[in-house]
C-alpha cells in the first residue's frame, strides 16, 4: 500500500493489429498494476522515493489497525525492556544497599549475557512479526503463528543475536565510559550527544522529581522500595542500551526478512541487507525521519505536563510531590512508553514493506 497512484490500462490501445510482431513479444515482461506502483521514479531518487518511505509508515499504521494481534509484539517487546530494567535495578540494589562490589570482569560477563538475552528475544519476536505479516490470509494475521514458524530459524537467530549483542555491548561500554569522563571532549559529547537525555529524564513527569521521603522502607529490603529501584533508576539505565539496540536494528533492517523469508544463511543475509540498504537509502531515511518526527512530537508533550503541574501546584511537584502527582507522572510515562513500542511495531512493519518493494524492483 503506497501513496504513489497506480497506472492502469497502460497497454490498452497501443496496437490494433495482432500481427507478426506479436510472436516476437512472448518474452516481454508486462508489469501488473500492483508492480507499476512500485517502479522507481526519476531513477530511484527524488520525491517518489521519499513518498515511498513515508507511505511505508502509513501502510504500517493501517496494517496494525487491521491486525490487532500484532500488538502482542508491542507488549512482549515492552516486557523485554522491563526485564533489562529489572537487571539494572538489581545491580543498583546490590551496590547501594548491600554494599557489595562485584568484580569488573563479572560485571562485563553479566552485561554481555543480559544484552544477548535481550537481543535474542527481540530478534525472535521480529522474526515472528515478519512471518505473521507475510503469511496473513486476507486481512488477518496471527502473530503467534508467525512466532511458531520462527522456531525453524533459531540457529541463525542465535548467531545473529550474538553478533548484535557483542556490537551493542561494546557501544554501551564506550557510552558508559564517556558518560563518566571529565575530559573536555567527553563533556561536549555528554551535553550535545545522548547524555542530554538523563538531564531531561530527572525532571517531572519522568521520575516525578522524586522526594526520597515519599517512599517508605519496607522491612527486609534494608533500603528503599524495590519498585523505586526498577523505575525510574533501572529504566533510566536501560534506556541508553535500548537506544543502542534500536540503532543496530536500523542499520540492519533487512537481515531478519532475508533469513526467514528467503532462508538465507547469516553471511548472505547481512551482505544482501547492506546492498538493499544502498539501493533504498532514500526510502529508509524518509521512513526513519518520519517516525522520529512523530515520536519527537509526542515526546515534547511532557512540557505541557510540566507547565500544568507548575501552574497548579509548583511546590508539590518540585519538592514534595503528592501521590496524585506521582500517579499522573507514572501514567504519563506508561502512555509514552506504550506509544513508543507501538511506533516500533509500525517501524518493523514498514521495514518489511520497504523490503518487499526493494525486492520487487
Average pLDDT for consecutive 10-residue bins of the chain (361 residues)? 37 38 38 40 58 91 91 94 88 72 84 94 95 75 88 95 94 77 54 58 67 49 61 78 90 93 93 91 92 93 85 69 77 91 94 88 71
Residue ranges of domains in the chain: 73-360
For residue 319, the model assigns a pLDDT of 58
pTM for the full predicted model: 0.77
The whole-angstrom separation of Cα 133 and Cα 143 is 8
For residue 319, the tally of other CB atoms under 10 A from its CB is 9
Set of cell numbers at residue 184: 573536555
For residue 267, the model assigns a pLDDT of 93
Among all chains, which residue has been given the C-alpha cell 496471527? 142
For residue 198, the model assigns a pLDDT of 62
Picking from 275, 226, 280, 269, the residue whose alpha carbon sits closest to that of residue 92 is 226
Set of cell numbers at residue 34: 500492483
Q: What is the DSSP letter of 75?
A: H
For residue 311, the model assigns a pLDDT of 82
The distance from CA 208 to its chain's CA centroid, rounded to whole angstroms, is: 26
- Cβ-in-10-Å burial (0-12, 13-18, 19+) of 73 comes to buried
Amino acid at each position: 500500500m503506497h501513496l504513489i497512484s497506480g497506472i492502469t490500462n497502460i497497454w490498452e490501445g497501443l496496437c490494433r493489429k495482432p500481427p507478426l510482431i506479436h510472436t516476437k513479444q512472448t518474452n516481454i515482461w508486462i508489469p501488473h498494476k500492483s508492480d507499476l506502483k512500485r517502479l522507481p521514479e526519476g531513477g530511484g531518487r527524488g520525491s517518489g522515493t521519499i513518498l515511498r518511505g513515508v507511505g511505508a509508515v502509513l501502510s504500517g499504521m493501517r496494517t496494525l489497525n487491521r491486525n490487532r494481534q500484532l500488538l502482542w509484539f508491542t507488549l512482549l517487546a515492552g516486557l523485554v525492556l522491563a526485564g533489562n530494567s529489572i537487571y539494572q535495578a538489581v545491580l543498583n540494589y546490590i551496590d547501594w544497599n548491600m554494599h557489595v562490589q562485584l568484580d569488573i570482569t563479572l560485571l562485563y560477563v553479566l552485561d554481555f549475557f543480559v544484552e544477548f538475552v535481550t537481543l535474542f528475544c527481540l530478534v525472535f519476536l521480529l522474526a515472528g512479526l515478519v512471518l505473521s505479516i507475510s503469511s496473513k490470509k486476507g486481512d488477518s494475521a496471527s502473530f503467534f503463528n508467525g512466532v511458531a514458524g520462527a522456531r525453524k530459524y533459531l540457529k541463525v537467530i542465535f548467531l545473529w543475536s550474538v553478533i548484535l549483542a557483542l556490537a551493542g555491548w561494546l557501544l554501551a561500554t564506550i557510552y558508559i565510559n564517556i558518560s563518566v569522563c571529565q575530559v573536555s571532549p567527553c563533556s561536549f559529547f555528554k551535553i550535545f550527544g545522548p547524555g542530554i537525555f538523563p538531564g531531561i529524564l530527572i525532571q517531572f513527569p519522568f521520575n516525578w522529581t522524586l522526594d526520597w521521603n515519599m517512599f517508605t522502607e519496607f522491612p527486609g529490603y534494608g533500603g528503599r522500595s524495590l519498585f523505586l529501584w526498577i523505575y525510574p533508576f533501572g529504566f533510566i539505565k536501560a534506556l541508553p542500551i535500548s537506544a543502542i539496540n534500536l540503532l543496530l536494528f536500523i542499520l540492519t533492517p533487512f537481515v531478519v526478512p532475508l533469513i526467514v523469508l528467503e532462508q538465507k544463511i547469516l553471511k548472505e543475509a547481512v551482505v544482501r541487507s547492506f546492498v538493499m540498504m544502498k539501493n533504498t537509502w532514500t526510502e529508509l531515511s524518509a521512513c526513519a525521519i518520519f517516525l522520529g518526527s512523530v515520536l519527537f512530537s509526542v515526546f515534547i508533550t511532557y512540557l505541557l505536563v510540566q507547565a500544568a503541574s507548575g501552574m497548579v501546584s509548583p511546590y508539590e511537584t518540585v519538592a514534595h510531590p503528592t501521590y496524585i502527582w506521582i500517579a499522573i507522572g507514572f501514567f504519563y510515562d506508561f502512555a509514552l512508553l506504550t506509544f513508543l513500542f507501538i511506533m516500533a511495531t509500525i517501524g518493523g512493519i514498514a521495514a518489511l514493506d520497504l523490503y518487499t518493494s526493494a525486492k520487487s524492483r
